[in-house]
Amino acid sequence: MVKTQKTKPNQTDRLLVIACGMIAREVLAVKEQLGLDHLELTCLPAEFHFYPDRIAPAMDKAIEKAKTEGYEHIFVGYADCGTGGLLDRVIEKHGVERMAGPHCFAFYQGMEAYAKVADDDMMSFYMTDFLCRQFDAFFMKPLGLDKHPELIKDYFGNYEKLVYLAQTDDPELDKVAQKAAAVLGLAYERRATGYGDLTIEMAQAAKVA
């Protein structure tokens, strides 16, 4: 019997997701969950979470590069994410789509669910699985809170609670989120969101591709 090997589709047949580095693990999890073998992922730096003005120009270059490499189906794995509409200008320019909503904290909860809690969450500090894993690297050390805990009130004094949006059921991440809430002096709430609208929109983008 002669075994035949599967050949990978070329770039024109594949879906390229250009995403925020903060959701890379989650995009790959959804890819595996849905069996999206034709989905490929590339990411912009997760630190752009702190520098939203860098997202749109970097995405513009990333899409242009992808197109020169032959990708015809591209999906932007960002919501607006603080770009103030600048990211939408980029995706309109290139004729691509992005995740719906203002930020990942919204689409993880699902846009309908988020709309119901948005007002009540105005004084909430959101954390995700990624931010739990990177709490020290993203908050404590860059803000100097590890050496100057007295600054916590300056940075987090206007928040009332920490809301952990859990993509997975990981007791170790729960502990990190609970400890973070205690360190920041905030009430704690855990919401099991899973991947929210990320699953729905990845499936739709892959279907279109």
pLDDT tens by residue, 154-180: 999 999 999 999 999 999 999 999 999
> What is the pLDDT at residue 4?
38
Q: Does the predicted model carry a pTM greater than 0.95?
A: no
> What is the pLDDT at residue 10?
58
Q: Which domains does the chain have, with CATH numbers?
A: 11-102+195-204 (3.40.50), 110-190 (no CATH)
Cα separation of 9 and 38, whole Å? 7
Task: Give which of 95, 50, 60, 56 is closest to 79, Cα–Cα.
Answer: 56
Task: Give which of 13, 22, 25 is closest to 74, Cα–Cα.
Answer: 13
